[in-house]
């Protein structure tokens, strides 16, 4: 279960980004939520195989006016006990998780003091953003890997436990670019409690403390709501079988649109107030 919010303190924003981020307005809004120019941004490059990705994001945030950034190279599980890095993470006002391989995130961070501190900081009001693999990692139920394609099929997706900042959504990234509707539908067929968020590249879903999602960026967020599923063949299907699912609702939301996770209701574009 997600960590409980501190009494009198709203939970921090949860910000999955679909990958290939070009719109610096998304990062600018993340920084505004994190304290603006006075923000302290912790960068977690664990998922990436690129040795300089942490330094790259340090430069990006510095260019956006942030004086205090630090890349925390949790490469091995023993690194997640490093007292200096944990102290820096504990003092961060915003946390950014880079992309790469989400299984590297879970296998390196899962169950460590670093992961517990990430959950605690978000519960205390600190926004946490993740791009690509970092986006998938944010939720409790994570897509580890799966096949591409628009048609759901039994066995086309493998699930595992993620960071667990929220249990209300399952997140998939590079969504329309890599045709991942089928695997998100399959993931939701296993248990239609959660809502699917298919986040396009260069696009973000800003999930507020009130569980209202606000879309930003050049692409779209596809909302897959299985609450009213009437027929599902997942329990009887054999691996590779195409699935029958009836009653699924799908919303495709462009920048400025919102979705209320409690009411399960979408609204068209509205104007954002920076820092809201």
Which of 125-139, 199-213, 260-274 is predicted with the least confidence, judged by mean pLDDT?
260-274
Quick one: tokens of 61?
Answer: 């945030």
Tell me, yes or no, whether 275 lies in a domain. no
Quick one: tokens of 195?
Answer: 């809502």
Tell me, yes or no, whether 67 lies in a domain. yes
The tens digit of pLDDT for each residue in 179-197 reads 999 999 999 999 899 999 9
Tell me, yes or no, whether 272 lies in a domain. no
Q: Is the pLDDT of residue 270 over 90?
A: no
Q: Is the pLDDT of residue 37 over 70?
A: yes
DSSP E strands in the chain: the ranges are: 14-17, 40-44, 68-71, 94-97, 128-131, 141-146, 157-161, 169-172, 195-199, 203-207, 212-217, 220-225, 231-232, 245-246, 249-254, 258-260, 265-267
Give the Å distances, CA to CA, from 232 to 53, 188, 237, 242. Answer: 42, 11, 10, 11
Which residue is catalytic, options 34, 48, 132, 232?
Answer: 132
Known active-site residue 251: no
Say how many Å lie between the first and final Cα of the chain, rounded. Answer: 26
Which residue is catalytic, options 58, 71, 174, 232?
Answer: 174
The tens digit of pLDDT for each residue in 215-264 reads 999 999 999 999 999 999 999 999 999 999 999 999 999 999 999 999 99
CA separation for the pair 224, 183 (Å, rounded): 12
Which residue is catalytic, options 34, 139, 141, 201?
Answer: 201
Tell me, yes or no, whether 276 lies in a domain. no
Question: Which position has the token pair 């504990």?
Answer: 90
* 8 A C-beta contact, residue 135 and residue 91: no
Helix/strand/coil for 207:
strand
Burial 116-148 (b: 16+ CB within 10 A, else e): ebbbebbbebbbbbbbbbbbbbbbbbbbeebbe
**Domain holding 34: CATH number?**
3.40.50.880
What pLDDT, on the 0 to 100 scale, is given for residue 268? 87
Tell me, yes or no, whether 39 lies in a domain. yes
Known active-site residue 174: yes
Tell me, yes or no, whether 246 lies in a domain. yes
The tens digit of pLDDT for each residue in 127-171 reads 999 999 999 999 999 999 999 999 999 999 999 999 999 999 999
Question: How many beta carbons lie within 10 A of that of residue 64, not counting itself?
Answer: 17
Portion of the chain with pLDDT greater than 90, in percent: 91
* Nearest CA among 120, 156, 178, 165 for reference residue 138: 165
Grade residue 272 by pLDDT with cuts at 50, 70 and 90.
Answer: very low
Q: Is the pLDDT of residue 100 over 80?
A: yes
Chain Cα centroid distance, residue 12: 13
* Total number of domains constituting the chain: 1
Handedness of CA 83, 27, 58, 106 (dihedral sign): positive
Tell me, yes or no, whether 236 lies in a domain. yes
Q: Is the pLDDT of residue 276 over 60?
A: no
Tell me, yes or no, whether 100 lies in a domain. yes
| Residue ranges making up the domain that contains 143 | 14-265
Question: How many beta carbons lie within 10 A of that of residue 153, not counting itself?
Answer: 20
């Amino acid at each position: 279960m997600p960590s409980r919010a501190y009494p009198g303190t709203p939970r921090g924003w949860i910000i999955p980004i679909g990958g290939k981020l070009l719109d610096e307005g998304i990062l600018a809004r993340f920084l505004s939520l994190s304290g603006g120019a006075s923000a302290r941004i912790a960068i977690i490059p664990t998922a990436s195989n690129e040795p300089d990705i942490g330094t790259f994001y340090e430069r990006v945030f510095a260019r956006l006016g942030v004086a205090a950034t630090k890349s925390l190279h949790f490469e091995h599980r023993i690194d997640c006990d490093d007292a200096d890095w944990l102290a820096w993470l504990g003092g961060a006002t915003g946390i950014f998780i880079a992309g790469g391989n989400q299984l590297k995130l879970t296998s390196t961070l899962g169950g460590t003091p670093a992961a517990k501190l990430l959950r605690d900081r978000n519960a205390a009001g600190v926004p946490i953003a993740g791009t690509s693999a970092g986006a998938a990692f944010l939720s409790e139920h994570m897509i580890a890997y799966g096949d591409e394609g628009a048609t759901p099929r039994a066995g086309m997706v493998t699930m595992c436990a993620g960071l667990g900042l929220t249990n209300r959504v399952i997140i998939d990234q590079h969504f329309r670019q890599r045709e991942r509707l089928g695997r998100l539908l399959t993931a939701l067929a296993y248990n239609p409690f959660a809502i699917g968020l298919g986040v396009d590249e260069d696009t973000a879903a800003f999930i507020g403390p009130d569980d209202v999602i606000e879309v930003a960026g050049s692409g779209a967020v596809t909302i897959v709501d299985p609450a009213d599923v009437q027929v599902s063949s997942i329990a009887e299907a054999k691996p590779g079988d195409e699935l029958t699912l009836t009653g699924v609702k799908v919303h495709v939301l462009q920048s400025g649109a919102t979705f209320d996770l409690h009411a399960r209701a979408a609204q068209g574009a509205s104007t954002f107030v920076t820092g809201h």
